[in-house]
Copies of this chain bind each other. A is one copy, B any other.
Amino acid sequence: MEANGLGPQGFPELKNDTFLRAAWGEETDYTPVWCMRQAGRYLPEFRETRAAQDFFSTCRSPEACCELTLQVRGCTKEGKIYAFSLPPSNLSPVSYSHCVASLWMLPSFSPTSLLYPRCFLPLQALGMEVTMVPGKGPSFPEPLREEQDLERLRDPAVVASELGYVFQAITLTRQRLAGRVPLIGFAGAPWTLMTYMVEGGGSSTMAQAKRWLYQRPQASHQLLRILTDALVPYLVGQVAAGAQALQLFESHAGHLGPQLFNKFALPYIRDVAKRVKARLREAGLAPVPMIIFAKDGHFALEELSQAGYEVVGLDWTVAPKKARECVGKTVTLQGNLDPCALYASEEEIGQLVKQMLDDFGPQRYIANLGHGLYPDMDPEHVGAFVDAVHKHSRLLQQN
- A21 located at the interface, meaning its Cβ lies under 8 Å from any Cβ of chain B in the complex: no
For A257, the chain B residues whose CB sits under 8 A away are 316-319, 336, 338, 370
**Contact for A214 among B213, B254, B296, B340, CB less than 8 A:** B340
Q: Which of A187-230 contact B (CB under 8 A)?
A: 204-205, 207, 210-211, 213-215
Determine the chain B residues whose CB is within 8 A of the CB of A322 once the complex forms: 299
- Which of A2-10, A29-37, A173-181, A341-349 interfaces with chain B? A341-349
With a CB–CB cut-off of 8 A, which chain B residues contact A330?
A: none
Q: Which residue of B lies closest to A355 (CB)?
A: B259
1/0 contact string of A285-329 vs chain B (CB within 8 Å): 000000000001011000000000000000011110010000000
Which of A338, A340, A355 is the most central at the interface, judged by chain B CB atoms within 10 Å of its CB?
Answer: A340
* Complex alpha-carbon distance, A298 and B318, angstroms: 9
Q: How far is the CA of A366 from the CA of B340 in the complex (A)?
A: 36
Q: What is the chain B residue whose CB lies nearest that of A338?
A: B257
Q: Is the CB of B340 within 8 A of A210?
A: yes
Residue A260 lies at the interface, judged by CB distance under 8 Å to chain B: yes
Residues of B within 8 A of A258 (CB): 317, 319
Interface membership of A112, Cβ < 8 A = yes
Q: Does A374 contact B (CB under 8 A)?
A: yes
- Return the chain B residue nearest A336 by Cβ: B257
Does A162 interact with chain B (Cβ within 8 Å)?
Answer: no
Q: A257-B338, A343-B214 are in contact. Are A299 and B298 (CB under 8 A)?
A: yes
User: Which partner residue on chain B sits nearest A319 by CB separation?
Assistant: B258
The residues of B that contact A338 with a CB separation of less than 8 Å are 210, 257, 259-260
Q: Are A376 and B207 CB-contacts (below 8 A) given A298-B299, A317-B296?
A: yes
Which interface class (under 10, 10 to 19, 20 to 34, 35 or more) fits A?
35 or more
The CA-CA distance from A374 to B258 in the complex, in Å, is 20
Evaluate contact between A205 and B374: CB separation under 8 angstroms: yes
Q: Which residues of B lie under 8 Å from residue A316 when comparing CB positions?
A: 257
Whole-angstrom distance between the alpha carbons of A344 and B207 in the complex? 12
Q: Tell me if B260 and A207 are in contact (CB < 8 A).
A: no
CB–CB A214/B317 < 8 A = no
Q: Which of B207, B213, B317, B343 contacts A254 (CB 8 A)?
A: B317
Q: Which of A213, A214, A256, A322 has the most CB of B within 10 A?
A: A214
Given A317-B254, A374-B207, residue A215 in contact with residue B344 (CB < 8 A)? yes
Set of chain B residues within 8 Å of A298, measured between Cβ atoms: 298-299, 317
* CA distance in complex: A352, B355 (Å): 41
Contacts of A215 in B (CB 8 A): 343-345
> How far, in angstroms, from A222 to B215 measured CA to CA in the complex?
48
Q: List 17 A-B contacts (CB under 8 A).
A: A113-B204, A204-B204, A207-B340, A207-B343, A207-B374, A210-B340, A214-B341, A214-B343, A214-B344, A215-B343, A215-B345, A254-B254, A254-B296, A258-B317, A259-B352, A260-B338, A296-B296
Which 6 pairs across A and B sit closest by C-beta, in order of nearness?
A: A210-B340, A214-B344, A257-B316, A214-B343, A211-B343, A112-B204
